[in-house]
């Protein structure tokens, strides 16, 4: 989640300010580095831990609801990533030159990233509040 916030508030503004070719090159390098190789396993561990916490312990209703909202939030992040951001990343990663539709792709990627980052923050807050209430 911290990576998503960092990308949205530091890298996305750079993408917007730079010329299309330079922005595309930087985006392509991010795709090559592929942060999903650690983001997806981390998300799976987080989801698994939340589900285990629901199963193995008695919780007050508020903790249960917060944990379920946290799980749903991170599921939403995964859906947005797989349906919008990843297809755009694949298009950018395969391109040999700046795609003609790059400006539209960037705007769509930026909007989806803002939504998924916001949802991830909500999910994290729910997990933290649920953990504090359960303690």
| CA 19/CA 12 separation, integer angstroms | 13
Which whole number is the average pLDDT over 81-91?
A: 95
- Using alpha carbons only, give the angle 46, 123, 32 rounded to the nearest 5 degrees: 65
Locus of tokens 């530091």: 10
**pLDDT of amino acid 43:** 84
Give pLDDT tens digits for 17-74.
Answer: 999 999 999 999 988 888 878 888 888 898 898 888 888 877 788 888 999 999 999 9
**pLDDT of amino acid 127:** 92
Question: How many other C-beta atoms lie within 10 A of the C-beta of residue 87?
Answer: 14
Give pLDDT tens digits for 91-129.
Answer: 999 999 999 999 999 999 999 999 999 999 999 999 999
Contact assessment for residue 134 and residue 59, using Cβ atoms and an 8 Å cutoff: yes
Residue-wise over 6-20: b if at least 16 C-beta within 10 A, else e?
A: eebeeebeebeeeee
């Amino acid at each position: 989640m911290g990576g998503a916030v960092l990308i949205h508030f530091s890298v996305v503004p750079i993408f917007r300010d730079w010329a299309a070719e330079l922005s595309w090159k930087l985006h392509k390098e991010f795709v090559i580095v592929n942060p999903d190789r650690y983001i997806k396993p981390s998300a799976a561990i987080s989801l698994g831990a939340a589900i285990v916490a629901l199963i193995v312990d008695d919780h007050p209703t508020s903790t249960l609801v917060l944990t379920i909202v946290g799980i749903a939030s991170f599921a939403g992040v995964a859906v947005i990533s797989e349906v919008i951001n990843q297809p755009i990343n694949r298009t950018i990663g395969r391109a040999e030159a700046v795609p003609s539709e790059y400006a539209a792709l960037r705007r769509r990627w930026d909007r989806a990233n803002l939504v998924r980052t916001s949802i991830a923050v909500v999910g994290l807050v729910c997990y933290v509040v649920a953990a504090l209430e359960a303690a």
